[in-house]
């Protein structure tokens, strides 16, 4: 006769007792908890939204969590990115976040992938493979839910394509300044991103966290809402009968919920099943400018940039001058890196003040942050 483990013992990291208060909630119970334990959630972006979302999902006992992020932790992230501490500055976000989350709940399989999500790897990641060689842990089951923790529309439309194609739910949220927007996409049940917004906003036309700022509580509310929705998809997907868009202004406390009905007939993505972003249509193109340590970034679509408006938004990051055809200056917030944006959306990301050249990944990240795709 062996020792009977006590599910409520203090030292028990994996026992069911850990989730007792959560299982008491109507709609969860043992069945819901078992569903969570069997689920795989892919969190794309471990920043201001991905941090609280991944933290809550791992605490809730979601069986497998994959974290993908292309960036490293910076000191300017710490006021809102709740998974990181000062000692993590300079580390890859995906790896640092995975390390922290394994400490939070050792019963959850957590995988960190330091990569840029693109049309080349998104389906593989969604399918449960971390790398082409799959040398890490072996393939996992496909993701049931994708949590959008990204900061740019290029990646969001790509995730929308991939999720609709595979039937995975996509939990979207965006937060800038004091405001957030959240919507959950259940393919075939709710509208997809392209049903509601057929085209991505033009580069430079939308505020980003790097131009308009962001309050930590606001992005944390957005990330918490995403975790909530991911749990609801896993435990009670049938309760999604139609879509809704939630908007909250954290500063004024005003909340608005708009019903958005079902899929829009004739939608390019979920109606016609043409996955243009998966085919690479939305990808920002980069070209190395030989000998200059600079990278040219071409926007995904034809655009006309409001140069004066862009210069205004960039003015808190350095000195920028506007001419008839371009905005040109130096981003002090990026170590004094040169940035030129032309009226047609083309941008050149140059060297830092210390001489460090740009590479395609840095150039795409800076383009997404400051020009906004
Ligand atoms: Zn659609």
Please state the three-class secondary structure of 141-156 as a single string: CCCCEEEECCCCHHHH
Residue 346 is predicted with a pLDDT of 85
Please give the helix or strand (H or E) that residue 227 lies within, else none. Answer: helix 216-236
Could you identify the residue written with the tokens 């989730």?
A: 19
Give the residue among 222, 231, 219, 162 at the shortest CA–CA distance from 192: 162
Q: What is the pTM of this model?
A: 0.80
Q: Where are the chain's structural domains? A: 39-261, 285-371
Residue 138 is predicted with a pLDDT of 66
Q: Is the dihedral of CA 214, 220, 224, 227 positive or negative?
A: positive
CA 181 from centroid of its chain's CA atoms: 13
Please give the helix or strand (H or E) that residue 305 lies within, else none. Answer: none
Q: How many A from CA of 171 to the centre of ligand 1?
A: 14
- The answer to whether the beta carbons of residues 39 and 64 sit under 8 Å apart is yes
Residues flanking ion ligand 1, Cβ below 5 Å: 192, 194-195, 267, 269-270
Q: How many A from CA of 192 to the centre of ligand 1?
A: 4
Residue 4 is predicted with a pLDDT of 58
Give the residue among 371, 365, 348, 335 at the shortest CA–CA distance from 114: 365
Q: How many A from CA of 55 to the centre of ligand 1?
A: 30
Strand ranges, E, within the chain: 40-44, 64-69, 109-114, 145-148, 169-176, 179-185, 243-249, 254-261, 285-289, 294-298, 320-322, 326-331, 337-342, 347-349
CA distance linking residue 245 with residue 142, whole number of Å: 26
Residue 1 is predicted with a pLDDT of 45
CA distance linking residue 139 with residue 310, whole number of Å: 44
CATH class of domain segment(s) 39-261: alpha beta
Low-confidence ranges of the chain (pLDDT < 50): 1-2, 10-11, 135
Residue 182 is predicted with a pLDDT of 97
Residue 2 is predicted with a pLDDT of 47
Give residues with Cβ within 8 angstroms of 354, minimum separation 6.
335, 336
Q: Is the dihedral of CA 351, 355, 357, 358 positive or negative?
A: negative
Farthest-apart Cα atoms in the chain, separation: 84
HSE-CB of 227 using CA atoms within 13 angstroms: 22
Q: How many A from CA of 188 to the centre of ligand 1?
A: 9
CA distance linking residue 219 with residue 78, whole number of Å: 12
Q: Strands 243-249 and 64-69, how do they pair?
A: unpaired
Residue 281 is predicted with a pLDDT of 77
- Asked if 209 is an active-site residue, the reply is yes
The 10s digit of each residue's pLDDT in 153-193 is 889 999 999 999 999 999 999 999 999 999 999 999 999 99
Residue 280 is predicted with a pLDDT of 86
The 10s digit of each residue's pLDDT in 35-83 is 999 999 999 999 999 999 999 999 999 999 999 998 889 899 999 999 9
- Out of 46, 209, 269, 270, pick the active-site residue: 209
CATH class of domain segment(s) 285-371: alpha beta
CA distance linking residue 272 with residue 299, whole number of Å: 25
Q: How many A from CA of 118 to the centre of ligand 1?
A: 20
Q: How many A from CA of 63 to the centre of ligand 1?
A: 29
Q: How many A from CA of 196 to the centre of ligand 1?
A: 7
Give residues with Cβ within 8 angstroms of 4, minimum separation 6.
none
Classify residue 188 as exposed, middle or buried by CB count within 10 Å of its CB (0-12, 13-18, 19+): exposed
DSSP state of 313: H
- The answer to whether the beta carbons of residues 110 and 102 sit under 8 Å apart is yes
Q: Is the dihedral of CA 238, 244, 248, 254 positive or negative?
A: negative
């Amino acid at each position: 006769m062996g020792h009977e483990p006590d599910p409520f013992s203090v030292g028990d990291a994996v026992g069911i007792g850990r989730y007792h208060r959560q299982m008491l909630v109507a709609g969860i119970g043992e069945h819901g908890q078992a569903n969570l334990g069997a689920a795989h959630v892919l969190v794309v972006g471990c920043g201001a939204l991905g941090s609280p979302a991944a933290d809550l999902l791992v605490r809730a006992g979601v069986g497998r969590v994959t974290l993908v992020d292309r960036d490293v932790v910076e000191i300017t992230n710490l006021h809102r990115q709740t998974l990181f501490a000062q000692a993590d500055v300079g580390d890859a976000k995906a790896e640092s976040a995975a390390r922290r989350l394994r400490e939070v709940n050792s019963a959850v399989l957590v995988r960190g992938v330091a990569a840029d999500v693109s049309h080349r790897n998104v389906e593989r990641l969604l399918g449960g493979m971390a790398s082409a060689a799959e040398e890490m842990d072996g393939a996992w089951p496909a993701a049931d839910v994708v949590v959008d923790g990204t900061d740019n529309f290029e990646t969001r439309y790509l995730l929308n394509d991939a999720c609709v194609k595979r039937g995975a739910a996509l939990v979207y949220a965006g937060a800038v300044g004091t405001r957030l927007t959240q919507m959950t996409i259940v393919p075939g049940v709710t509208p997809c991103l392209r049903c509601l917004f057929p085209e991505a906003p033009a580069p430079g036309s939308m505020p980003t966290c790097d131009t308009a700022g962001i309050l930590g509580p606001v992005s944390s509310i957005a990330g918490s809402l995403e975790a909530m929705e991911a749990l609801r998809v896993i435990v009670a997907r049938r309760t999604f009968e139609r879509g809704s868009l939630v908007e909250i202004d954290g500063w004024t406390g005003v909340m608005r919920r708009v019903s958005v009905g079902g899929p829009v007939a004739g939608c390019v993505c979920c109606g016609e099943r043409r996955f243009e972003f998966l085919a690479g249509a939305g990808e920002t193109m980069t070209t190395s400018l030989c000998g200059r340590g600079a990278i040219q970034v071409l926007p995904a679509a034809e655009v006309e940039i409001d140069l004066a408006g862009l210069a205004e938004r960039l003015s808190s990051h350095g000195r920028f001058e506007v001419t008839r055809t371009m905005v040109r200056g130096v981003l002090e917030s990026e170590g004094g890196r040169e940035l030129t944006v032309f009226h047609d959306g083309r941008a050149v990301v140059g060297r830092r003040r210390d001489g460090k050249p740009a590479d395609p990944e840095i150039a795409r990240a800076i383009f997404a942050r400051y020009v906004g795709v």
